[in-house]
Amino acid sequence: MTIDEQTPAAGTVGLKASAACWLRRPRSRRELIDRLFAVQSLFALAVVFAVAIAASPTRNGENLFLSTGNLGNIVRAVSEIGIIAVGMTFVVLLGGIDLSVGAILGLSAVGTATLMVDSGLGILPSVLAVLAIGAAFGALQGYATARLGIQSFIVTLAGLQVARGLARIWSGGLGIPIAYGDGPKEAPPAFEILNGSFNGVVPVPAVLFLAIGVAAIVVLRTTAFARHVYAIGGNEKAARLSGVPVTRVKVAVFAIAGLLAAVAGVVHAGQLNQGSPNDGAGYELDAIAAVVIGGTALSGGSGSMGGTLAGALLLGILNNILALNNIDANVQLLIKGLVIVAAAALQKLHRTVA
């Protein structure tokens, strides 16, 4: 492929429409399509939302899907995967993949329960220790891929086993229930806040997810660090020759992914009132699905955090509406698989057209 000639069409590749461009009327159908695709994951989210409303069962004339309780359930259910997916987005933008996040979630849930219940630590020290472990675990993986030059797929595949093993050893292989109270072997009742909601409407984990997501969007848009992530993902050699501190950035990105997986682990322990070493199995794949539906290229260097947030919500709504309609769990899996392929195909189609 040569891009030597003046091919205006090539100008649309991976371009985000600027604000000024949005205020103008689209000059052609081609441009209109481009604009829709610029926010395609939001667009897809809106479509799925609309379909969900239409497909929702009703009780006494009330749309069950739209009920406050149900919407709360959706964002609560989405929040753990969503938080993990935020970290995964950084890794995928870098051109890597992190398979260990589900296992780190399990390790962190176990850690949270053990430290609070068995070791009798307070909330803050327990949580901080767990987050530190998650971040350190991620950083170590980042260092291994950067310095040893092993693909992150392999490093984190190994990390998955290690984290799962650590979780089993730490917990003795059993789930550790969290009882609340002031006595020994009881966790501080304040930790139960993760099970609660603001005003009884907005679940606390969802707010946490939203806050982390917004912070990540800001980081990706404004920081030099983010530019470095995109540069490495686009062309690592070029990034290195341009003076990007490649090792440092990789370590930081995997540390972020580990840290956010640990956050999700704490949330998980709080929501289930226990920490089990098998928690979070397969979550890494759901997180990757959210990233892919959000339009981030697995090859690295292009994509957005907003897309991932929309992708995570889309998967949550899908799960919810299928469950509301009592669709068989196995059939649910099937439908989810088709949606992921459809999302990827849509992006491919757009790139080919452009």
Partner 1 sequence: MSEALVTMTGITKQFGGVVACRDVDFTIRAGEVHALLGENGAGKSTLMNVLSGVVTDHDGEITVAGTPVRFHRPADAQAAGIATIHQELDLVPGLSVAENLVLGREPRTRLRLLDRRAMLRTAREQLRQLGVDLDPRRPVGALRVGEQQLVEIARALSLDARVLVMDEPTAALADAEVRRLFATIEELRRRGVGIVYISHRMEEIEAIADRATVLRNGGVAGTVDPRTAGPGEIISLMVGRSVETLFGSANAKTGAPLLEVDDLTVRPRHRRPGRCEPAGATLTVRAGEIVGLAGLMGAGRTELLETLFGAGAKGRRSGSVRLDGVAYAPAAPRQALRRGVGFVPEDRRGSALVLGHATGRSIVLTALHRLTTAGIVRRRRERAAVAGKIAELAIKTPSANVPVGALSGGNQQKVVFARQLLAGPRLLLLDEPTRGVDIGAKAEIYRLLHRLADDGMGILLASSELPEPLGVCDRIVVLRAGRTVADLPAATTDAAGILAAAMGQHSRPTRESA
Would you say 241 or 329 has its CB closer to partner 1?
241
- Per CB under 8 A, the list member of 240, 285, 324, 327 interacting with partner 1 is 240
Least separation in angstroms between residue 5's CB and partner 1 is 4
Q: Does 352 bind partner 1 (CB under 8 A)?
A: no
Number of amino acids touching partner 1 (CB under 8 A) = 36
Quickly list DSSP for 310-344.
Answer: HHHHHHHHHHHHHHHTT--HHHHHHHHHHHHHHHH
Q: Is the dihedral of CA 104, 106, 110, 113 positive or negative?
A: positive
In what helix (H) or strand (E) does residue 255 lie, and over which residues does it extend? Answer: helix 246-272
Q: How many CA atoms lie within 13 A of 111 on its CB side?
A: 29
**Which two structure tokens, joined as six digits, stand for 132?**
């530190």
Closest distance to partner 1 from the beta carbon of 6 (Å): 5
Q: Which helix (H) or strand (E) segment is 197 a member of?
A: strand 197-198
Under the binding rule (CB under 8 A), the answer on residue 32 touching partner 1 is no
Q: Which DSSP symbol is given to 302? A: -
Single residue of 149, 237, 328, 330 touching partner 1 by CB under 8 A:
237
Interacting span for partner 1 (CB under 8 A) from 6-14, 48-56, 187-195, 306-314? 6-14
How far apart are alpha carbons 293 and 352 in whole angstroms? 18
For partner 1, the binding residue among 22, 69, 242, 349 (CB under 8 A) is 242
Q: Check residue 225 for interaction with partner 1 (CB under 8 A).
A: yes
Binding segment for partner 1 among 5-13, 108-116, 183-191, 270-278 (CB under 8 A)? 5-13
Which of residues 39 and 176 has its CB atom nearest to partner 1 in the complex?
39
Please report whether residue 302 would count as binding partner 1 according to CB under 8 A. yes
Q: How far is the CB of 245 from partner 1 (least distance, A)?
A: 6
Q: Which is nearer to partner 1, 28 or 60 (CB)?
A: 28
Which lies closer to partner 1 via its Cβ, residue 236 or residue 279?
236
199 belongs to the binding site for partner 1 (CB under 8 A): no
Contact residues for 324 (Cβ-Cβ < 8 A; gap 6+): 56, 57, 64, 65, 70
Q: How far is the CB of 12 from partner 1 (least distance, A)?
A: 9
- 39-78 residues in contact with partner 1 (CB under 8 A) are none
Rule CB under 8 A: is residue 238 a binding residue for partner 1?
Answer: yes
Q: How many residues does the chain have?
A: 354
Nearest to residue 257, comparing CAs of 91, 23, 99? Answer: 91
Q: 58 has which bridge partners?
A: 63
CA dihedral 72, 73, 74, 79 (to 10 degrees): 90
Minimum distance, C-beta of residue 92 to partner 1, in the bound complex (Å): 15
Q: Do 107 and 166 form a contact (C-beta atoms < 8 A)? A: yes
Residue in 269, 229, 263 with CA at minimum distance from that of residue 246: 229
Per CB under 8 A, the list member of 155, 166, 231, 340 interacting with partner 1 is 231
At 130, list the tokens: 């767990």
Closest of 255, 213, 260 to residue 96, by C-alpha: 255
Nearest CB to partner 1, comparing residues 78 and 297: 297
Residue 15 binds partner 1, judged by CB under 8 A: yes
Residues forming contacts to partner 1 in the complex (CB under 8 A) are 1-11, 13-15, 18, 222-225, 227-228, 230-231, 234-235, 237-245, 301-302
